[in-house]
């Protein structure tokens, strides 16, 4: 055993009251689980455990030895007696391996109790460690099947967590403290985001996305084929958010033998799996080859460790990870890597929005230390209209279209813009700013909206309070009608508003709606999100009058575009140029190295020049700016 682990174990043995009777200490991923025969000894000694955790800088959880745990039937009874009826428990599941009991309730706050008191009580009366999750008001099939899957595989899950735990707490071997960052995808382009961070001790992958503007070929994948990326050497994969250009290739890692952990937030885990499975489904329907199967998605889920924002976690012997809110989509995170004992601090922003939206709070700008910042610059060359202007523009286009008897098609990314636009439309219709017509929402958007309802604590205060306390959940508003996919009768029917995926018209029901609606000049299409180069959405947005689409049978279809084409950028989940600059100026700690990525060449270059000109004002006088190409490596420490 490594001396790192021995030291931790002896610190716990030396400080925990003997009467608790430790039976084993397990390294379960980043957590250290102390199994004891007599947990009740510790019931009023929480301070001792906290102090040990603080001293050794580790996350410690006390669990009961298997033999000490109460019988499951009895435990269920105790839980039902302790928890008030109003909590509405819908399901209880046990994990024998980890000694945990999953409690699913409509009002999880009532199971947790004030300051966690009831949660604690459940543990000390049953000796099962409660894990409490929310049953959302709109049922989410995704969350149900993910939890069922994990609880069906408890043996494998526990085993793999121990493998991770031992790897994280291995011996440090090298004196060298250098840090190197390598661009694998999403540099000088948007799509297939992936960054490799290396120290002599460890290798971390930040995002592993696919390129949405192609459906195959070498540009579809990030450069995982180089020598530096040997999958057995990767310590951790960190996923910032659930858009496929950031997480679409994670299952591929498992296909080729990756056996390590994936760190992300809980909503990202759920939506990521859903998006990956949906991408498989769409590819299969369209007869395209798929790079992985559902089997790898299921493995990915068992290997995923979810973290809350601002929770410091060891992911390698010399790397700690902390997530911060990125304001881009639900669960989106900026990843802060603390390397060595303060040798170097990296912030990888992922996609972020530095402004409040209806759905989310604005991105975090407070870090204790940042040496290198890797920052997205999607809109580095553009300014978007303000929020109010954007809403007004959207409402005007919708009114114009509905008044002339047309239908409005809004292609949306299933996650993010979909929900933001739903909030805007719901409010506008409630306030009679647009006439009451049906708003159709395609299946995937609806399912992802359900996932939003499972994590209200991750949403803006207004939406959270509306969901939790006011019983006026905007997502379950009567204006919305769920449809499974494309429907001819709706595309050619009465005036209506249609929200359909995908946001860039590169597949999904939005394309079907577009094909049917394009030739009618009464209709309109409104783009509300970024259109990547090479996508159909980009061509339409740029105003081509006729396009060819190859249909499922390989026939070329000519489609004349007569419908009104509009774009409203103000709803974007990305920061525009002004917001990016504000962000740099307001950062509590200024980076020595600023690495620009996630932008097309003109966005990156124009933004670099702008930052260069304003270095003084932004407080970046000593900062070096880098704009690496794919496969460039940068020694940052
Ligand atoms: Zn994104």
For ligand 1, the distance from its centroid to the CA atom of residue 472, given in whole angstroms, is: 28
For ligand 1, the distance from its centroid to the CA atom of residue 218, given in whole angstroms, is: 21
Tell me the HSE value of 553 on the side-chain side, using a 13 A CA sphere.
Answer: 2
Summarised one tens digit per residue, pLDDT across range 232-289 is 999 999 999 999 999 999 999 999 999 999 999 999 999 999 999 989 988 888 788 8
pLDDT mean by block of 10 residues, the chain; 637 residues:
90 95 96 96 90 93 96 97 96 96 95 94 97 91 95 97 96 91 97 97 97 88 95 97 97 97 98 94 84 96 98 96 97 97 94 96 97 97 92 97 97 88 96 97 88 94 88 88 94 96 88 95 95 90 90 82 94 94 98 97 97 96 97 96
* Three-state DSSP class for residue 378: coil
For residues 320 and 311, what is the distance between their CA atoms, to the nearest angstrom? 10
Please give the pLDDT value at position 416: 83
For ligand 1, the distance from its centroid to the CA atom of residue 241, given in whole angstroms, is: 7
Summarised one tens digit per residue, pLDDT across range 183-210 is 999 999 999 999 999 999 999 999 999 9
For ligand 1, the distance from its centroid to the CA atom of residue 237, given in whole angstroms, is: 17
Whether the CA torsion 510, 513, 518, 523 is positive or negative: it is negative
Please give the pLDDT value at position 49: 92
Question: What count of other Cβ atoms lies within 10 Å of the Cβ of residue 66?
Answer: 13
For ligand 1, the distance from its centroid to the CA atom of residue 633, given in whole angstroms, is: 24
Which residue, among 543, 482, 541, 493, has the nearest Cα to 516 in the 3D structure? Answer: 493
**Phi/psi of residue 207, nearest 5 degrees:** 65, 145
DSSP structure class, residue 576:
B
For ligand 1, the distance from its centroid to the CA atom of residue 24, given in whole angstroms, is: 42
For ligand 1, the distance from its centroid to the CA atom of residue 365, given in whole angstroms, is: 18
Summarised one tens digit per residue, pLDDT across range 370-397 is 999 999 999 999 999 999 999 999 999 9
Cα Rg of the chain (Å, integer): 25
For ligand 1, the distance from its centroid to the CA atom of residue 328, given in whole angstroms, is: 7
For ligand 1, the distance from its centroid to the CA atom of residue 243, given in whole angstroms, is: 5
Please give the pLDDT value at position 552: 66
For ligand 1, the distance from its centroid to the CA atom of residue 206, given in whole angstroms, is: 14
For ligand 1, the distance from its centroid to the CA atom of residue 380, given in whole angstroms, is: 15
For ligand 1, the distance from its centroid to the CA atom of residue 314, given in whole angstroms, is: 26
Whether the CA torsion 489, 493, 497, 502 is positive or negative: it is positive
Contacting residues for 71 by C-beta, under 8 A, at least 6 apart: none
For ligand 1, the distance from its centroid to the CA atom of residue 398, given in whole angstroms, is: 26
What residues pack around ion ligand 1 (CB closer than 5 A)?
243, 351
Which residues are 28's β-sheet partners?
31
Burial of 549 (0-12, 13-18, 19+ CB in 10 A): middle
For ligand 1, the distance from its centroid to the CA atom of residue 368, given in whole angstroms, is: 25
For ligand 1, the distance from its centroid to the CA atom of residue 155, given in whole angstroms, is: 34
Alpha-carbon dihedral 468, 472, 477, 483, rounded to 10 degrees? 20
Whether the bond into 632 is cis, omega within 30 of 0? no
For residues 461 and 39, what is the distance between their CA atoms, to the nearest angstrom? 37
Please give the pLDDT value at position 568: 94
For ligand 1, the distance from its centroid to the CA atom of residue 73, given in whole angstroms, is: 45
For ligand 1, the distance from its centroid to the CA atom of residue 329, given in whole angstroms, is: 7
Contacting residues for 325 by C-beta, under 8 A, at least 6 apart: 309, 332, 333, 334, 360, 361, 363, 364
Whether the bond into 398 is cis, omega within 30 of 0? no
For ligand 1, the distance from its centroid to the CA atom of residue 628, given in whole angstroms, is: 20
For ligand 1, the distance from its centroid to the CA atom of residue 235, given in whole angstroms, is: 24
Please give the pLDDT value at position 337: 98
Q: Per residue in 305-340, is it b (16+ CB within 10 Å) or e — as a string? A: bbbebeeebbbbbbbbbbbbbbbbbbbbbbbbbbbb
For ligand 1, the distance from its centroid to the CA atom of residue 275, given in whole angstroms, is: 12
For ligand 1, the distance from its centroid to the CA atom of residue 70, given in whole angstroms, is: 45
- Whether 185 contacts 223, CB under 8 Å: yes
For ligand 1, the distance from its centroid to the CA atom of residue 162, given in whole angstroms, is: 32
For ligand 1, the distance from its centroid to the CA atom of residue 271, given in whole angstroms, is: 12
For ligand 1, the distance from its centroid to the CA atom of residue 457, given in whole angstroms, is: 20
For residues 118 and 134, what is the distance between their CA atoms, to the nearest angstrom? 16
Q: Which helix (H) or strand (E) holds 213?
A: none
For ligand 1, the distance from its centroid to the CA atom of residue 190, given in whole angstroms, is: 10
The end-to-end CA distance of the chain, in Å, is: 30
For residues 48 and 526, what is the distance between their CA atoms, to the nearest angstrom? 58
For ligand 1, the distance from its centroid to the CA atom of residue 252, given in whole angstroms, is: 19
The two counts, helices (H) then strands (E), for the chain are 21, 28
For residues 196 and 218, what is the distance between their CA atoms, to the nearest angstrom? 18
């Amino acid at each position: 055993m490594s001396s790192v682990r021995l030291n931790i174990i002896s610190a716990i043995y030396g400080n925990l009251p003997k009467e608790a009777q430790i039976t084993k200490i397990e390294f379960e991923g980043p957590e250290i689980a102390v199994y004891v025969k007599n947990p009740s000894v510790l019931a009023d000694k929480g301070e001792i455990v906290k102090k040990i955790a603080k001293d050794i800088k580790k996350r410690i959880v006390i669990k009961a030895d298997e033999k000490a745990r109460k019988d499951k039937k009895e435990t269920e009874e105790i839980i039902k007696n302790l928890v008030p009826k109003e909590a509405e428990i819908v399901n209880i599941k046990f994990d024998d391996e980890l000694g945990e009991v999953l409690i699913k309730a409509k009002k999880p706050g009532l199971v947790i109790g004030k300051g966690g008191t009831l949660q604690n009580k459940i543990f000390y009366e049953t000796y099962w460690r409660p894990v409490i999750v929310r049953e959302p008001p709109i049922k989410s099939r995704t969350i149900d099947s993910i939890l069922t899957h994990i609880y069906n595989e408890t043996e494998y899950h526990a085993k793999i967590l121990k493998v991770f735990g031992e790897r994280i707490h291995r011996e440090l071997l090298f004196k060298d403290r250098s840090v190197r960052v390598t661009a694998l995808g999403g540099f000088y382009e948007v799509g297939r985001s992936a960054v490799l961070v290396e120290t002599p001790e460890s290798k971390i992958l930040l995002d592993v996305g696919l390129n949405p503007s192609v459906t195959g070929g070498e540009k579809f994948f990030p450069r995982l084929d180089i020598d530096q990326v040997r999958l057995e050497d990767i310590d951790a994969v960190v996923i910032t958010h659930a858009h496929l250009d950031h997480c679409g290739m994670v299952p591929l890692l498992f296909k080729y033998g990756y056996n390590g952990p994936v760190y992300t937030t809980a909503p990202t885990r759920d939506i990521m799996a859903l998006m990956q499975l949906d991408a498989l489904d769409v590819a299969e329907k369209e007869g395209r080859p798929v790079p992985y199967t559902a089997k790898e998605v299921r493995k990915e889920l068992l290997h995923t460790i979810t973290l809350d924002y601002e929770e410091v976690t060891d992911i390698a012997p010399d790397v700690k990870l902390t997530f911060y809110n990125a304001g881009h989509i639900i669960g989106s995170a900026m990843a802060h890597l603390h390397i060595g004992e303060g040798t170097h601090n990296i912030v990888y922003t992922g996609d972020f929005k530095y402004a409040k939206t209806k759905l989310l709070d604005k991105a975090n700008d407070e870090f204790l230390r940042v040496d290198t910042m890797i920052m997205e610059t999607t809109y580095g060359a553009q300014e978007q209209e303000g929020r109010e202007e954007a809403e007004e523009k959207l409402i005007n286009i919708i009114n114009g279209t509905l008044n002339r008897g047309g239908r409005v098609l809004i292609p949306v990314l299933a996650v993010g813009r979909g929900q933001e636009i739903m909030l805007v439309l719901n409010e506008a219709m409630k306030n009679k700013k647009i006439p009451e017509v049906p708003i159709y929402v395609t299946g995937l958007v609806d399912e992802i909206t359900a996932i939003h309802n499972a994590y209200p604590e991750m949403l803006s205060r207004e939406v959270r309070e509306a969901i939790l306390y006011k019983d006026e959940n905007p997502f379950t508003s009567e204006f919305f009608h769920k449809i499974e996919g494309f429907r001819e009768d709706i595309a050619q029917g009465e005036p209506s508003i249609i929200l359909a995926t995908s946001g860039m018209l590169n597949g999904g029901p939005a394309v079907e709606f577009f094909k049917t609606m394009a030739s009618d000049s009464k209709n309109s299409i409104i783009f509300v999100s970024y259109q990547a180069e090479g996508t159909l959405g980009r061509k339409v947005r740029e105003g081509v009058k006729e396009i060819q689409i190859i249909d499922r049978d390989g026939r070329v279809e000519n489609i004349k575009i007569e419908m009104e084409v509009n774009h409203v950028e103000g709803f974007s989940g990305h920061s525009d140029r002004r917001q990016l600059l504000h962000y740099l100026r307001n950062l509590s700690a200024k980076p020595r190295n600023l690495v620009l990525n996630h932008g097309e060449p003109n966005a990156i270059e124009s933004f670099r020049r702008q930052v260069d000109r304003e270095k003084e004002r932004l407080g970046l006088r000593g900062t070096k700016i880098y704009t690496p190409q794919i496969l460039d490596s940068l020694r940052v420490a």
